[in-house]
Amino acid sequence: MKRLNQLFQKNEKILSIYFTAGYPHLNSSKEIIIELEKNGVDLIEIGIPYSDPLADGPIIQKSSQIALENGMSLEFLLHELKDIRAEVDIPLVLMGYFNSVMQFGIEQLFKRMNEIGLDGIILPDMLIEVYEKEFCELFEEYDIKSIFLITPSTPEDRIRRIDKMSKSFIYMVSSASTTGVRETYDDNSLAYFKRIKSMNLKAPILTGFGISSKQHFDQVCEYSDGGIIGSAFIKSFKKEVPIQQSISSFVSSVKK
């Protein structure tokens, strides 16, 4: 899948948006993806809703719960996205919890991802040790990129190891926290961003967790190749505002 690699050839700052599939409505995923691309978003993370999302804060917990109540499942999502590549060119990656993928069957999922044209997957509860020992070959066989996380507490040698293993980008978690919306980045976070930047890693880095405004986004872009927004985006949907309109005003508020 070249889409992800091509993306990082660009010199601009990359804006990646996460949304929970099945929220606000069971079949809004396709529309959300199309509108995000139209508005200039560079990369999309499609969240597979999970009943017990351990790394997520209240907003994604709630959107996942509603999505599941709406009837969303991994099978439904893949079916919905079946023809997405006729309309959308930017890279698309899945994000979900290991148990969802394990129950679906990892190889089965990769086959379907290939058919559709989904480029990678983020499984926050799959440590690199598990990846290396059990799944690395499958990922390579189907050319699905696994995106790994680094955090403020990840030791340097481990970051190097993750860098070596990364075939696309590294997901830099901005602070020791679950996902959510934060007010500002403190000095600790900035020191951490600088430390990672000075490591000159081979893989591009996108920063996520807690980004909620243009100011945040610009800030993380100073230290990395771009930012990932999730909770703040999901929160921006309003009952009375059509999805189209809500996405265009959200993206332009960050990207201007």
Partner 1 sequence: MKIKVCGLRVRENIVHVDQLEVDYIGLIFHEESPRFFSDQQLPDTMAKKIGVFVDKDFELIMNTIKEYQLKAVQLHGKESPELCRKLLKSDLEVIKAFAVDDDFEPSVLSDYSDSCSYFLFDTKTHKHGGSGKKFNWDILQSLDYSLPFFLSGGIGPEDANAIRSLRLNNLIGIDLNSRFEDAPAIKNFDKLSAFIKEIKPMKYKINEEGYYGSYGGAFIPELLYQNIQELKENYLKIMESDSFQDEFIRLLKEYVGRPSPLYFSKALSEKYGAQIFLKREDLNHTGSHKINNTIGQILLAKSLGKKRIIAETGAGQHGVATATVCAREGLECVVFMGALDVERQQPNVQKMQMLGAKVVPVESGNKTLKDATNEAIRDWINHPEETYYLIGSVVGPHPYPDMVSRFQSVISEEIKNQLKQQTGNVNSDKIIACVGGGSNAIGAYYHFLDDENVKLIAVEADGLGLETGETAATTAAGSPGIIHGSKTILMQTDDGQIVEPYSISAGLDYPGIGPVHAHLFETGRVEFIRATDDEALKAAFELTALEGIIPALETAHALAALPKLEFKEDELVVINISGRGDKDMATYQKYIESLKHPYQPPKMLTQAEHEDVNGLFIP
Judged by beta carbon, residue 61 or residue 63, the one nearer partner 1 is 61
Q: How far is the CB of 76 from partner 1 (least distance, A)?
A: 9
Interface residues with partner 1 (CB under 8 A) are 50-52, 54-55, 57, 61, 65, 68, 73-75, 97-104, 124-127, 129-130, 148-151, 153-155, 158, 173, 176-178
Q: How far is the CB of 56 from partner 1 (least distance, A)?
A: 8
- What's phi and psi for 46, nearest 5 deg? -95, 115
Annotated catalytic residue within 35, 56, 80, 119: 56
Judged by beta carbon, residue 1 or residue 59, the one nearer partner 1 is 59
In one-letter notation, the amino acid at residue 217 is F
- What's phi and psi for 29, nearest 5 deg? -60, -45
Active site residue 222: no
Q: How far is the CB of 177 from partner 1 (least distance, A)?
A: 5
Q: How far is the CB of 73 from partner 1 (least distance, A)?
A: 4
Active site residue 119: no
Judged by beta carbon, residue 35 or residue 96, the one nearer partner 1 is 96
DSSP letters, 88-129, are: --S-EEEE--HHHHHHH-HHHHHHHHHHHT--EEE-TT--HH
Task: Please say whether the dihedral angle defined by the alpha carbons of residues 242, 216, 149 and 175, taken in this order, is positive or negative.
Answer: negative
Tell me the helices (H) and strands (E) count for the chain, helix number first: 13, 9
Q: Give the span between the Cα atoms of 106 and 117, in whole angstroms.
A: 16
The set of catalytic residues is 45, 56
